[in-house]
Structure 1
Amino acid sequence: MESRFFNRELSWLEFNYRVLFQGLCKELPLLERLQFLSIVTSNFDEFFQVRVASVKRMLMENPKKVDAGGLTPQTVLSSISARAHQIIKTQQECLMSDILPSLAEKGLVYISPIQYNQQQTEFLQGVFKTEIYPLLTPLRTDVEEFPHIKNLISYVAFLLKPISGIKITSEEFKGSDDLPRIAFVEIPSGLSNIYWLPSSYKKEKQFALLQDIVTEFGTNLFPGFQVEETLLFKVARDADFAVDEDAGTNFINAMEDVLIQRKSSFPVQMTCNRSSDFIQKFLMEKLELENDDVYKVDQIINPGDLMELRDADEYGKLSFDRWEHFYPSDLPEDEPYWNFLKLHDKILHVPYESYEPVVKFLNDAADDPNVLAIKMTLYRTGRDSPIIDALERAAQHGKQVIVLVELKARFDEERNIAWANSLEQAGVTVIYGLVNLKVHAKILMVIRRESDTIRRYVHLATGNYNTKTAKLYSDISLFTTNPQIANDATQFFNLVTGYSTLQNMNCLSMAPVTIKSRLISMINREIERSTPENPGLIIAKMNSFTHKEVILALYKASQFGVKVLLNIRGICMLVPGVPGLSENIKVVSIVDRYLEHSRIFFFQNGGTPELYCSSADWMSRNLDRRIELMFPILDKDCFADVKSILDTYFLDNAKAMELKSDGSWEPIRHSKKSSPFEAQSELYKKYKRLNEKRPKNTEKQFEVRRK
């Protein structure tokens, strides 16, 4: 019998191919295609640091252990390498043979070192001497302790040979036959990656890359030597570290130790160009990397370096048309939301709608003398966050401000430590997460004194309190004053900040205690209420789906005739469409201009439907090892709004792809009789229409006549 589960890592690789698929799409603007290619690289960087490092560690510790699909660590690593090499090869062919030539046709021309003319060479020599050379530090390799290669930093390696006729007097520099003279230089990260070249062609903008300039003029770093070969490379290191949860009051110090370890951990993967097999093999030996760990590219090892070309796209012809982030048509702009939210729940759907209402809600709370307290969780907040500013101001105004900052948010640990220190200095009470559990829930509660009562305003979300990603990620959030939800929110904060145990909640479900059991219970309820005449229906949208218990529950539902529709952006370990197991389950995925991030779950419930949103994907880490929240959509209008959003994703026949039982993904395309339907585009049009219906300011304006 075939496995009932796809391998997690191999499923992720297919997600990254779906990202690449957008870069291959010639209908998209060129810089957007380039953006997707750069996302492929950044995705791979994290994947190798975390997931591949984890599998390699498992191979060392327990090589015979098999995963849910029956694969050993060595089999998984070999499969990862084979597929990742295919994807990177396709990415590079697209970049070098399609994107760059197409950009050149549009007047943005990449000039490689072999193409530099005399004028360009002289210009770049001047740039190198004045702007780049002072920042470079060549590191010798024929020393007792091999120089440390930083994680995900680009380097140029140089194979050197003494210039004939120049006598080397110092024994230190003579070298030997056994030790080649190889030095490498870190490419400075604080400089521009693109340098515009002088050109006699008015319709062209020619540019060189920083990596090429350092490579071409690096000879200046080694007087008395000539450069025989060079190699551009970067190394990904293991970043899958866990902090010592028993660090107690020294938890921040323990977290900082993890950041230090990450910088010097064992190498997992190397990306390099094809210019020197000798240097490549030398580095592989020193870094203890195998052939499968090395990924060769044609020339440009970081496609993201080219994204500075956006600055040259003066009229935006090479990018997507700008989409606005509309202020919600039913929310007041010039007054606080207190009176509105007393009467209505409100759904906010970013980035189609602006994130400004969340920022305004917090700012109003910080400045309102009737607000007594603000409580919230912070997982990833972004730089220069107005959320942090509002919380600090609220504390300075004498309000009680309680913030749970999750320091274990991978790759944001350093930033979160800084935010936590800043908040504490402003008078905010900061809680540093919970032992052994990441707090991934997204919740904000404002407690306000009003004429008749103390009222609690609650905001719950599927995405982080991050104003930057709210312009790029599709997320759902709910504003409500529902007393039952407010009571549950109060219980939640008492639990995560104090010693209270979880009491029965009326509306909210919390992982790792009740979300999983609640989901499985609702799946089983769907089975019980399903009939051949009225089969059950489950519709769910999330980022990734790997939880075996929930997968098995859905297999059972499928076998009892329940129809299951899943929209999974990333990893999916469930195998759909298998007769007798999952023939009633359909899995689709959408990768488009916005990152799909919302989690929405619908259960038909025998004609009394229920709808939930959550911070949690259906993954073991979310349901078993994190603090997460799942919240119901109770307001009738909000229910209709969220259900409409969910349904829209299953109508897509332009960007959607369907998962097949063999693990492949097949594009869903409209027939000749139907029109193309692109979910994100249709959602944007919907919010644009709502904005156009928004009452305009009709107050008469008097024009002053001027001489």
Structure 2
Amino acid sequence: MKKSASLFFNRELSWIEFNARVLAEASRKENPLLERLKFLSIVSSNFDEFFMVRVAGLKHQAQVNPNETDSFGLTAKEQLSLISEQVHKIFFEQHAMVKEQFFPLLEKKGIIYVPPENFSDAERNFAGNFFQEQLFSLLTPIKALTPAESTEDNELPYIANLRLYAAFLLTPIVDKKDIHPAFCPAADEKPLALVQVPASLDRIVRLPSEKKELRFTLLDDIILAFGTRLFEGYSVEQSLVFKAVCDAAFAVDEDRHEDFMEAMEEILAARRASVPIRLTCTNGSPDITKILIEKTGLSEEDIYTAGKIIDLAFLSRLADKLSDMHGFSKLRYPVWKHFYPKELVRGEAVWDVLKQRDVLLHVPYESYDPVLRFISDAADDPGVLAIKMTLYRTSGESPVIKMLERAARNGKQVTVLVELKARFDEKRNISWAQQLMHYGVIVVHGIVNLKVHAKMLLVVRRENEGIIRYVHMATGNYNEKTARLYSDMSLFTSNREIANDASAFFNMLSGYSAIQTMRRLYMAPINLKSRLLHMIEREKLHSTPETPGLIMAKMNSLADSDIIKALYEANRAGVRILLNVRGICTLVPGIRRQSENIKVISIVDRFLEHTRLFYFQNGGAEEVYLSSADWMSRNLDRRVELMFPVTQDDLFQELKDILLLYFSDNTHAHELNTDGTWTLKKPRPGEDAVRAQEALYNRYKQRADAAHKEIPRLFTVRRKEPRV
């Protein structure tokens, strides 16, 4: 990070640094080759979303409030300039790695990328036939442009977001008398034609080979090589492939719309017609690049020019294809199983287990099946009267949706808050909401001017003792697919006070209850932030030179200025503060009399670290919490989030041990420096290597192995009252 401030780092530059850490993971030679390709692909996908939302927002700000500065002291224009500079560095490094490292390494493994200029005669014949038989009828050249004209009626036609286009600069080669006047170009005119690369076909095209190797080219390569067939009477003077990233920073005017679903449809329509804010192009065609810059109104710093390939997100698809092929599995991470928690495999109904103890689930080390089983059992159990839950994001073919529909058909009262404002999942969530309503589910569409990001499921069951409520709360979404890739935690409980709070929470969300006091749960934007500030202040008051306070926190992002200032104050009181922040961190560590006792690490490994986990020493009366919320202003002030305590002794100690394990990682942890750069930690001489994710996997494996040998015994109640 080029510029530093006394209190805060710039949020956007900090996020770019996170992607530099992801790219560094791709460069680690000890990582399996196909996993390294995945990290390269993730960087490309991350930047697409970053430009659609954050950069687009800065461009709006630069027009509306050009003199406004952020906490880093930068105007929007200054931020855009620094962003372009830093992203270009990563972009060039990423593409150089592909050309100079990965393609040669893949070739040694018999995986060979073949550009059109290297086609053999057989490959050229194959590619030509492929173009003619599978592509020609799909491709439609879009309205021609000319570099000479710049009038409004010669503007660039609509460019779809994130879609690949081939651009051809053409020269007439036939006599004009053979062309109808309506189609005849003006004198000396060199039209530019655009052809959208079909997204319905796999971008990776396997070439025929008699050897035991995989030779492939790309769909866009074939279109460039044979696209001249689309333009009878013209020759192709220059060509390139480009992709536009378009503005997606739209917010719904919730006060203007009575029909919230209709309002979100408007946002989706606006996004589909938005303007480009970034172009990536293959190189070698300066005239076409110049035309695209002129017609889009972009500046030079918005253009990212690569070699022969753009949009490296395809590398993830390549890795997946190779994983399914014989002989390439050794190029992936070794398989890590997802172990079933021992507390829920004793043959007892989940209700019987939860009446006796809380159960903690840690995915992906443990299986996500208990969550699905919990919902499925609730859907079918005749004693269950009602199911209530929040849905922020879920998978495309979500079993959760099917279970909720089944529950409604079985006569349960099912209430689901579907957050329609979940960015880039709006269309899917609208579809789920409509589908659920069709089956009689009570669907709440969200809360005006707030996103509901909390993850909670409440099951109400009639039993011999009366009505019993069972609650599931999580740090991550109800998505069985991401649960195999993201590290998240959740808690199952029948604790009466938490169940009371859960009922109050859903009553508030439905809009039929005023804000209620909750005894065990903390909710943003009501009291979650104030509770965090109180606990930080409390830690400061408890801290002495002999027994310094201790705060340990794990999250995705840290950027709330009030929280950061409170941490600085705690630091001055001698409190030790250990922060595990995966992505954005605007706190500046290591500054004397401000943050010398604050250590910040970030772990990038095979699983995406997504858990929010907070520990406070509290003068010996320790507390630990899980939460859906990062320490960001958007989470604490503009979203509905939950933070919940874990008090059962064994689970409390387990969470504390996990936090300590993360801070002992010296192989995949990067430490934040005072200047905003990050340094990968390495074992010191004589120190054992510690990889937190591997240690966690081994811990759960040993637990599962021991459970198989364990003699069944009665459950004991371990839950106890919260520490105060």
Short-chain TM bin = over 0.9
Q: Does 1:491 align with 2:504?
A: yes
User: Aligned match of 1:48 in 44, 47, 51?
Assistant: 51
Deviation, structure 1 residue 503: 1.9
Amino acid across the alignment from 1:221: L
Amino acid across the alignment from 1:62: N
User: Aligned match of 1:325 in 332, 338, 348?
Assistant: 338
The answer for the alignment partner of 1:245 in structure 2 is 254
User: Aligned match of 2:579 in 563, 566, 582?
Assistant: 566
Identity of counterpart residues, as a percentage? 53
Q: Which range moves more in the overlay, 67-76 or 428-437? A: 67-76
**Separation in 1, partners of 2:435, 2:368:** 23
1:168/1:174 contact within 8 Å kept: no
The answer for the alignment partner of 1:353 in structure 2 is 366
The answer for the alignment partner of 2:150 in structure 1 is none
User: Aligned match of 1:59 in 62, 73, 76?
Assistant: 62
Q: Does 1:389 align with 2:402?
A: yes
User: Aligned match of 1:82 in 78, 85, 88?
Assistant: 85
Amino acid across the alignment from 1:311: K
1:272/1:296 contact within 8 Å kept: yes
Deviation, structure 1 residue 693: 1.4
Gaps of 5+ in 1: 700-707
The answer for the alignment partner of 1:173 in structure 2 is 183
Amino acid across the alignment from 1:396: R
Amino acid across the alignment from 1:273: T
Q: Does 1:520 align with 2:520?
A: no
Q: Does 1:627 align with 2:640?
A: yes
Amino acid across the alignment from 1:624: D
Gaps of 5+ in 2: 146-152, 713-724
Deviation, structure 1 residue 660: 0.5
**Separation in 1, partners of 2:710, 2:322:** 37
Structure 1 length-normalised TM: 0.97
**Separation in 2, partners of 1:60, 1:695:** 64
Q: Which range moves more in the overlay, 162-171 or 548-557? A: 162-171
**Separation in 2, partners of 1:613, 1:172:** 68
SS of equivalent residue, structure 1 residue 381: coil
RMSD value over aligned CA atoms?
1.6
Deviation, structure 1 residue 306: 3.0
Post-superposition Cα deviations, 1:597-620, rounded to whole Å, max 9, x if no partner, equal 000000000001000010000000
**Separation in 2, partners of 1:298, 1:536:** 53
Deviation, structure 1 residue 166: 7.4
User: Aligned match of 2:513 in 500, 505, 512?
Assistant: 500
1:508/1:629 contact within 8 Å kept: yes
1:659/1:665 contact within 8 Å kept: yes
2:387/2:458 contact within 8 Å kept: yes
**Separation in 1, partners of 2:602, 2:658:** 15
Q: Which range moves more in the overlay, 130-139 or 445-454? A: 130-139
Post-superposition Cα deviations, 1:227-275, rounded to whole Å, max 9, x if no partner, equal 1111110011110111121254421111011011111112210011102
**Separation in 2, partners of 1:172, 1:12:** 51
Post-superposition Cα deviations, 1:382-414, rounded to whole Å, max 9, x if no partner, equal 111111111000000011000000000000000
Amino acid across the alignment from 1:149: I
Amino acid across the alignment from 2:474: A
Following superposition of structure 1 onto structure 2, how do residues 170-319 of structure 1 map, counting pairs within 5 Å?
A: 170-176=180-186, 180-200=190-210, 202-309=211-318, 310-313=320-323, 314-315=326-327, 316-319=329-332
Q: Does 1:417 align with 2:426?
A: no
Amino acid across the alignment from 2:39: F
**Separation in 1, partners of 2:680, 2:711:** 48
2:341/2:366 contact within 8 Å kept: yes
SS of equivalent residue, structure 1 residue 161: strand
Q: Does 1:159 align with 2:169?
A: yes
Judged with a 3 Å threshold, the aligned counterparts in structure 2 of structure 1 residues 696 and 249 are, in CA distance, closer, same or farther, namely: farther
**Separation in 2, partners of 1:72, 1:179:** 42
Following superposition of structure 1 onto structure 2, how do residues 656-671 of structure 1 map, counting pairs within 5 Å?
A: 656-671=669-684
**Separation in 2, partners of 1:494, 1:196:** 55
Amino acid across the alignment from 1:217: F
Deviation, structure 1 residue 132: 1.6
Q: Does 1:535 align with 2:545?
A: no
Amino acid across the alignment from 1:158: F
2:243/2:311 contact within 8 Å kept: no
**Separation in 1, partners of 2:59, 2:264:** 23
The answer for the alignment partner of 2:350 in structure 1 is 337
The answer for the alignment partner of 1:446 in structure 2 is 459
**Separation in 1, partners of 2:184, 2:384:** 74
The answer for the alignment partner of 2:722 in structure 1 is none
Q: Does 1:589 align with 2:592?
A: no
Deviation, structure 1 residue 158: 0.5
Post-superposition Cα deviations, 1:484-537, rounded to whole Å, max 9, x if no partner, equal 111111110111102322222111000001010000000000011001000000
**Separation in 1, partners of 2:129, 2:710:** 57
The answer for the alignment partner of 1:703 in structure 2 is none
**Separation in 2, partners of 1:632, 1:658:** 28
SS of equivalent residue, structure 2 residue 708: coil
2:339/2:701 contact within 8 Å kept: yes
Post-superposition Cα deviations, 1:97-142, rounded to whole Å, max 9, x if no partner, equal 1011100000000000110111111111111111122211110233
**Separation in 2, partners of 1:547, 1:49:** 22
Amino acid across the alignment from 2:201: L
**Separation in 1, partners of 2:578, 2:640:** 26
Post-superposition Cα deviations, 1:143-172, rounded to whole Å, max 9, x if no partner, equal 645311011111100011122567542223
Judged with a 3 Å threshold, the aligned counterparts in structure 2 of structure 1 residues 218 and 431 are, in CA distance, closer, same or farther, namely: same
The answer for the alignment partner of 2:114 in structure 1 is 111
**Separation in 1, partners of 2:8, 2:63:** 24
SS of equivalent residue, structure 1 residue 19: helix
Deviation, structure 1 residue 178: 7.3
User: Aligned match of 1:133 in 125, 132, 136?
Assistant: 136
The answer for the alignment partner of 2:716 in structure 1 is none
**Separation in 1, partners of 2:10, 2:350:** 47
The answer for the alignment partner of 1:548 in structure 2 is 561
SS of equivalent residue, structure 2 residue 140: coil
**Separation in 1, partners of 2:558, 2:180:** 62
